Chains A and B, each alone.
Chain A
């Protein structure tokens, strides 16, 4: 999806007067702050000759392009400013903008600076993730490039939702059939009442008595059977559909690109899989059948009522607006209360999660009373809100009942007068009328609620479809012609990469790692070390350049194969709540028990496993909670050894363990790194004692490169780092050799 800033006519008119005939516009960008930092639409216009800033139809800033070397963004608190740097290195503030427009401006200055540097013009286009406001209603979106809930295309979403019924045509037909029978059987008893009263009781046609009583019994029986089957079939269908949705979503999410997970919290994703699908399930299970059944029965009842007595029907229809609008008014009162209840629930859950999860900290700092007070306060708020909801609901039900009662009293009054006045209306007509009125009024009060519910469910469906429509990680399928990784040679050629538009994490990096070489990546946190590792794993798509493994672009390798040939030992190994054996064979499920033991021995993990009561069958608890940091790390090394990859990545593998454990892990790693291409990130430089080369990474660039000794001789950044760490570790001289 691409779009461009549409300049308002007032801005176009200003520009038409200002621009000379040979001056064309290169870039435009809207900001939401004026130069006085007030909320106001401000436009940045960059032509070949000038930079213009226009607010309220006036040019408030104009700067000749030839005076500018580059543009830069100065990040301030809760906003930022765009500045121009002149040849004299003076910084001139051009305009301010809030975080809403930050990605667009970051992207823009990269393009403009390239243009200023070499005259190369690239158009400024917007991807969906840069869109912050609904193009249709101009309201802010709930997330960048997200769906505007106010402009949801409800019916097309509903159609897509129902298209998932295709594999279940037979049962869908049964649902429709049983529901239709149910609706019809529900409408029969009031008519039979009329016939019994008028024909049997009033006109003494006693011979018809058994017939009508039997008919009433049969209609009741048919209603019972049809509603039973309608409920069973529709429950199965709705649950099955949602089951399919959950499977589809889960499969999709596991194949999404990694940057999606950087933008969305795990809670957000769990909510999408659980809450959104539950919302759809409830609607499909209860809401949709309600709508279908009652919409059809309302029409049929209206026809029946009019056919019995058109005048009296008008009286029945009179309270309808009060019922519909009254229920809508009440529900509008209730909805904020429900939202409020959701917010308090969130707070209570967060409090419980934090205090139970962090119970050791709570106890260590003796903060139980504080948390008990917080919880009591939240719980009291929940009680007050829940009572308010119940009170409003009781009021709602009683008012609705009263309106219906008024309608029924009106019918009784006018119908009785007409019966007493010997009009053609009969007592049977009256009783049938009253019977139908309850069927007619009952569902009306819930219609607005169900329609509101439908919108919620459709919003959930739309969120689900957005994920299902996302681009998954793609790679060529495995085939006999697929390249193979045997040597482990890695090449980066002028690689550029950014997580966000215009904010480069890797800036034009090139290096080669030969087969079997061990490379250390060092530098400050956030410099780009982990990003390099992520790129080798093909977790992200690079902006430009080339990454080769054994002479082939990593994009040529099937993803599963590539990642299978790269072993990773992370700083905080992620272990699953299964047995030790299952955790070791995670990447190699077909491994035999002997292979697992050999890998554990090589990783110095066997020695602690044999001392566990259940040995390799020990269940390690959620995230390995029953193991120490060193034990977890050795399991993760065993997992990598079992995978036997030609390329090994060690991401801070020993940073969170004590000295004794570190020694054991080092021994394990020495075995593991033999004859493998190894890339190790380490803050503790001891890990890199045996590295063939060290790359010092800072600001997304390689600042220094060479062996440990050559870098020390160079007395640059690496030398500073070693000195600093030597001072810090004076009590641990073995760390820096």
Chain B
């Protein structure tokens, strides 16, 4: 059973986010995080206070008011950096190290990976998350939607 969400208001000021439970209460600085950042973008949202304690849990973004939704979306964009791999130019394998030359939504990027069995997580049959040797994550939301050359490169190691 879901716990009822108390009325709240989010405020954005100087790039920081604050939460108020009533108009007279002092706004508390908060951090808004996605609880399943790899899976879904509009559900599983947690609002934490400065002690990292959860103040509000939203099972879906639509559980918040329209004004709050706008701020939550912005906060999540600020909080998250998960490059999406749009194209795989090449995956070179040299002595056990895989060098990925990619085009992401954050621009061209070259990274290294070691063991695909440990560094690639299959979220579904079509969706994967890739980790590089420095623990940075990249996502491929749909392998099928990659161009054929990229799929061919990916098939070298998947």
Q: Complex Cα distance A686/B9, Å? A: 44
- In the complex, chain B residues whose CB is within 8 Å of the CB of A459: 95-96
Q: Complex Cα distance A350/B14, Å? A: 48
Are A346 and B117 touching (Cβ within 8 A)?
yes
Q: Complex Cα distance A499/B40, Å? A: 34
Interface residues contributed by chain B, number (CB under 8 Å): 39
Q: Complex Cα distance A41/B93, Å? A: 25
Are B110 and A140 touching (Cβ within 8 A)?
yes
- In the complex, chain A residues whose CB is within 8 Å of the CB of B156: 336, 339-340
Are B114 and A90 touching (Cβ within 8 A)?
no
Are A98 and B136 touching (Cβ within 8 A)?
yes
Are A100 and B106 touching (Cβ within 8 A)?
no
Closest to A138 in B: B110
A98, A132, A344: residue with the most chain B Cβ atoms closer than 10 Å: A98
- In the complex, chain A residues whose CB is within 8 Å of the CB of B118: 346
Q: Could you say which of A91, A99, A142, A339 contacts B157, with CB atoms under 8 Å apart?
A: A339
Are B95 and A456 touching (Cβ within 8 A)?
yes
Interface string of B92-120 (1 = CB under 8 A from A): 01111101000010111111101111100
Cβ of B16 within 8 Å of any chain A Cβ, yes or no, is yes
Are B112 and A140 touching (Cβ within 8 A)?
yes
Distance in angstroms from B145 CB to nearest chain A CB is 21
Q: Could you say which of A39, A91, A152 contacts B109, with CB atoms under 8 Å apart?
A: A39
Given A91-B15, A149-B95; A99-B135 close (CB under 8 Å): yes
- In the complex, chain A residues whose CB is within 8 Å of the CB of B14: 90-91
- In the complex, chain B residues whose CB is within 8 Å of the CB of A143: 133
Cβ of A144 within 8 Å of any chain B Cβ, yes or no, is yes
Given A140-B111, A141-B112, A142-B112; A78-B104 close (CB under 8 Å): no
B37, B97, B133: residue with the most chain A Cβ atoms closer than 10 Å: B97
Distance in angstroms from B78 CB to nearest chain A CB is 7
- In the complex, chain B residues whose CB is within 8 Å of the CB of A456: 95-96
- In the complex, chain B residues whose CB is within 8 Å of the CB of A77: 33-34, 37, 79-82
Q: Complex Cα distance A340/B106, Å? A: 29
Q: Complex Cα distance A673/B116, Å? A: 50
Q: Complex Cα distance A40/B135, Å? A: 18
Q: Could you say which of A40, A96, A343 contacts B117, with CB atoms under 8 Å apart?
A: A343
A-B contact pairs, 11 of them (CB 8 A): A76-B79, A93-B15, A100-B136, A140-B133, A140-B134, A141-B112, A336-B93, A336-B157, A339-B96, A339-B156, A343-B157
Chain B residues with CB under 8 Å of chain A are 14-16, 33-34, 37, 78-83, 93-97, 99, 104, 106-112, 114-118, 132-137, 156-157
Chain A residues with CB under 8 Å of chain B are 33, 37-40, 76-79, 90-91, 93, 96, 98-100, 132, 139-144, 149-150, 152, 335-336, 339-340, 343-344, 346-347, 350, 455-456, 459
Query: Top 4 closest A-B pairs, CB basis?
Result: A346-B117, A149-B95, A79-B81, A140-B112
